[in-house]
């Protein structure tokens, strides 16, 4: 049997009541727990890293503990100094204001900076370094202590309460809608402690728009695949000159550029030195692809060195229609010359489903060729009633005679083969779409150049200087020297292999005195056997305007008795011939016989006939 009473007695001997301790003692024990824990870890660290490894492990361990304590003390002092010292904004104030307050990109802006020493201690070697973006084109500033290259102001020592200000100006170029940010980095050294402090203040300016306004004008309705004209106009509405701007046409894929004025260079128009208030325009002729709608636009950018600063995009929507009108033309000749007439036959057919009303036929041509007003159509519904309402299925035939001027002058700036007509267009009002170019056709008929030759003799120059020799009027049996002047023209195009010839009359002899004023021309030569004078010009230029070239040579007249009382002939059978560059055909002209009638020589007036 088990003795339960004996077991209970043994258990009662093991479990005892805890001893009662004072409250103060318990509190002290609570605070010493971290110390005992730290002591435990230190002893553990000592035994694992120092004990048994060094000759004097306790001394080395104590030295390491002293270093750790020193680092902790320094950290506490540094934190206290940081929390109690004043910040730089509390010592020096720097602010910026802009005039105008909300500038446009391209405006001239003045930035005003002010600063002040707010502390009770002098701030030494103070300076403000500006951080401005490349889009701010700063003007040279005459500010004491300011270095334009580094954009730094050397303030020097600032006494307590001392303040100052300065201004800089320049053109502001920024992306409209993007804030313009400038920064001022201020640094100074405390006059009492010698501590250096640096602070950067950032300032922001709103830029809402561009000072260079660009407008695009293009018809709201156009015919797909046919030429349409667009005009880009610009105006500098700002208060500063814009050094360089770039405008890029934005065209739908498949658009053909027919021409531009001024010319696009690598697809870009460059504008230089745009003064405040100045304006201009560019013209663009394009063929839009056949679609229902197209978007035509242009992007504007300012250029600063190699950086482009976008200024925005201008866009217009164009509705495209297809009137399906055909236009054909033919002429009664393949070429035309000065003073000649060209009959132009025109046929049009409306193969579409729209009615074209109030139609007009226009022909682009050089106004220096035809005596017509290039600003008005040459055929309207008044001359061709079928143009009033050109319905689907209708056909139209018309004929017009173009008369070329006798004296032709090309007005273009670049040399080119002269042609009559450039483009024939049919313009009208299309049902529901407004006024459109319904059809067009290139019409280019070569203009054959003409040669002109004038020959005249002189005894005196136009200034009155005597160049002739011998008696005047000429006398029988006495030699009189005259100068014969040749003036030749090619109009309006170039001519090549040009030859001028003339035969010396009876009693006239050749003197090897001459002057040639045509570039590339050969000297005048004389053939004694045939008594012919010949002058060759390999090329005679006249592509832009009528070109005049000249030469002169001297002859001597020895009159005979039978010529007394009459004019004496000097040069006869005077001709010019050459090959027209544009057509490859031979062209020629003649001049009047040259006699002693010196009509252009005022000082020789009345001294023409031979005397005895």
- Pair 596, 457 in one domain: yes
- Pair 338, 414 in one domain: yes
- Whether the per-residue pLDDT at 356 is higher than 60: the answer is yes
Q: How many CB atoms lie under 10 A from the CB of residue 88? A: 20
- Pair 467, 571 in one domain: yes
Q: How do residues 14-46 score in pLDDT, each as one tens digit?
A: 444 445 455 545 544 555 566 666 677 777 777
| 3-class DSSP state of 25 | helix
Per-residue pLDDT averaged across 302-328, rounded? 88
- Whether the per-residue pLDDT at 569 is higher than 50: the answer is yes
- Pair 419, 517 in one domain: no
Query: Between 305 and 25, whose confidence is greater?
Result: 305
Q: Is residue 301 part of a domain?
A: yes
Q: Are 251 and 261 in contact (CB under 8 A)?
A: no
Which pLDDT belongs to residue 29? 53
Which pLDDT belongs to residue 415? 47
Q: How many CB atoms lie under 10 A from the CB of residue 162? A: 14
State phi, psi for 265 to the nearest 5 degrees. -110, 110
CA dist., res. 519 & res. 552, Å (int): 14
- Pair 480, 417 in one domain: no
CA dist., res. 61 & res. 49, Å (int): 9
CATH number of the structural domain spanning residue 439: 2.60.40.10
CATH number of the structural domain spanning residue 570: 2.60.40.1170
Q: How do residues 577-603 score in pLDDT, each as one tens digit?
A: 999 887 888 999 999 999 999 988 989
Which pLDDT belongs to residue 212? 92
For the chain, the helix, strand and coil percentages under 3-state DSSP, each to the nearest 5? 15, 50, 40
Q: Answer left, alpha or beta for residue 177, where phi above 0 means left and psi between -120 and 50 means alpha.
A: left
- Whether the per-residue pLDDT at 350 is higher than 50: the answer is yes
pLDDT band with cut points at 50, 70 and 90 for residue 568: very high
Q: In the chain, pLDDT over 70 holds for what percent of residues? A: 86
Q: In terms of C-beta density within 10 A (0-12 exposed, 13-18 middle, 19 or more buried), how is residue 604 classed?
A: buried
- Pair 456, 597 in one domain: yes
Q: How do residues 174-202 score in pLDDT, each as one tens digit?
A: 999 888 889 999 999 998 888 888 888 89
Q: How do residues 489-524 score in pLDDT, each as one tens digit?
A: 877 778 899 999 999 999 999 998 999 987 788 999
Q: State the total domains in the chain.
A: 4
Tell me the CA distances in angstroms from 365 to 126, 375, 575, one per residue in order.
Answer: 73, 10, 32
Q: Is residue 54 part of a domain?
A: no
Q: Which residues form the domain of 219?
A: 212-321
CA dist., res. 351 & res. 394, Å (int): 8
Which pLDDT belongs to residue 299? 94
Per mean pLDDT, which of 27-31, 77-81, 156-160 is the most reliable?
156-160
Instruction: Please confirm whether the linkage preceding 329 is cis (ω < 30° from 0).
Output: no
Residue among 423, 285, 427 at smallest CA distance from 366: 423
User: Going along 85-179, which residue ranges are E strands?
Assistant: 92-99, 108-117, 123-131, 136-138, 146-147, 152-158, 163-172
Q: Is residue 159 part of a domain?
A: yes
Q: Is residue 22 part of a domain?
A: no
Residue among 473, 493, 499 at smallest CA distance from 574: 499
Q: How do residues 262-289 score in pLDDT, each as one tens digit?
A: 999 999 999 999 999 999 999 999 988 8
Backbone CA torsion sign across 474, 476, 480, 483: positive
pLDDT band with cut points at 50, 70 and 90 for residue 372: low
- Pair 538, 567 in one domain: yes
- Pair 598, 454 in one domain: yes
CA dist., res. 536 & res. 544, Å (int): 22
């Amino acid at each position: 049997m088990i003795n339960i009473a004996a077991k209970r007695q043994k258990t009662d001997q093991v479990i005892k009541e805890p001893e009662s301790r004072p409250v103060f003692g318990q509190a002290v024990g609570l605070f010493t727990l971290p110390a005992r824990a730290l002591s435990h870890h230190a002893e553990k660290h000592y035994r694992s890293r120092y004990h048994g490894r060094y000759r004097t492990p306790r001394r080395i361990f104590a030295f390491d503990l002293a270093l750790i304590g020193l680092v902790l003390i320094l950290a506490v002092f540094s934190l206290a100094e940081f929390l109690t010292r004043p910040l730089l904004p509390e010592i020096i104030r720097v602010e910026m204001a802009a005039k105008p307050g909300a500038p446009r990109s391209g405006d001239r802006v003045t930035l005003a900076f002010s600063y002040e020493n707010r502390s009770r201690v002098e701030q030494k070697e103070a300076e403000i370094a500006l951080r401005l973006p490349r889009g701010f084109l700063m003007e040279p500033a005459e500010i004491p202590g300011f270095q334009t290259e580094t954009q730094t102001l050397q303030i020097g020592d600032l006494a307590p309460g001392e303040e100052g200000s300065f201004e800089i100006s320049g053109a502001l170029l920024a992306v409209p809608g993007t804030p313009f940010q400038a920064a001022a980095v201020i640094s100074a050294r405390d006059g009492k402690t010698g501590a250096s402090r640096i602070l950067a203040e950032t300032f922001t300016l709103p830029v809402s728009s561009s000072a260079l306004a660009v407008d695009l004008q293009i018809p709201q309705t156009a015919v797909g695949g046919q030429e349409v004209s667009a005009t880009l106009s610009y105006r500098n509405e700002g208060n500063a000159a814009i050094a360089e701007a770039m405008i890029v046409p934005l065209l739908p894929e498949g658009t053909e550029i027919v021409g531009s004025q001024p010319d696009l260079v690598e697809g870009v128009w460059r504008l230089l030195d745009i003064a405040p208030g100045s304006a201009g325009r560019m013209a663009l002729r394009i063929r839009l692809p056949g679609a229902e709608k197209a978007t035509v636009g242009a992007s504007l950018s300012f250029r600063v060195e190699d950086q482009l600063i976008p200024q925005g995009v201008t866009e217009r929507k164009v509705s495209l229609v297809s009137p399906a009108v055909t236009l054909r033309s033919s002429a009664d000749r393949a070429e035309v010359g000065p003073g000649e007439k060209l009959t132009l036959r025109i046929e049009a057919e409306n193969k579409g489903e729209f009615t074209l009303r109030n139609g007009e036929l226009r022909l682009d041509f050089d106004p220096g060729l035809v005596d017509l007003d290039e600003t008005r159509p040459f055929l309207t519904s008044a001359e061709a009633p079928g143009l009033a309402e050109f319905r689907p299925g209708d056909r139209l035939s018309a004929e017009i005679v173009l008369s070329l001027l006798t004296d032709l002058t090309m007005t273009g700036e670049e040399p080119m083969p002269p042609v009559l007509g450039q483009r024939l267009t049919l313009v009208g009002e299309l049902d529901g779409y407004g006024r459109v170019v319904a059809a067009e056709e290139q019409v280019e008929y070569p203009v054959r150049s003409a040669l002109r030759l004038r020959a005249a003799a002189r005894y005196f120059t136009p200034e009155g200087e005597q160049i002739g020799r011998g008696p005047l009027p000429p006398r029988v049996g006495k030699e009189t020297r005259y100068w014969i002047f040749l003036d030749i023209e090619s109009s309006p195009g170039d001519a090549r292999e040009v030859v001028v010839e003339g035969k010396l009359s009876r009693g006239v002899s050749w003197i090897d005195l001459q002057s040639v004023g045509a570039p590339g021309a050969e000297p005048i030569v004389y053939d004694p056997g045939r008594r012919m004078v010949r002058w060759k010009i390999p090329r005679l230029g006249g592509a832009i305007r009528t070109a005049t070239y000249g030469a002169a040579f001297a002859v001597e007249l020895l009159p005979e008795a039978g010529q007394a009382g009459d004019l004496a002939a000097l040069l006869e059978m005077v001709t010019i011939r050459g090959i027209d560059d544009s057509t490859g055909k031979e062209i020629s002209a003649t001049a009047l016989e040259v006699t002693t009638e010196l009509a252009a020589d005022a000082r020789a007036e009345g001294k023409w006939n031979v005397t005895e």
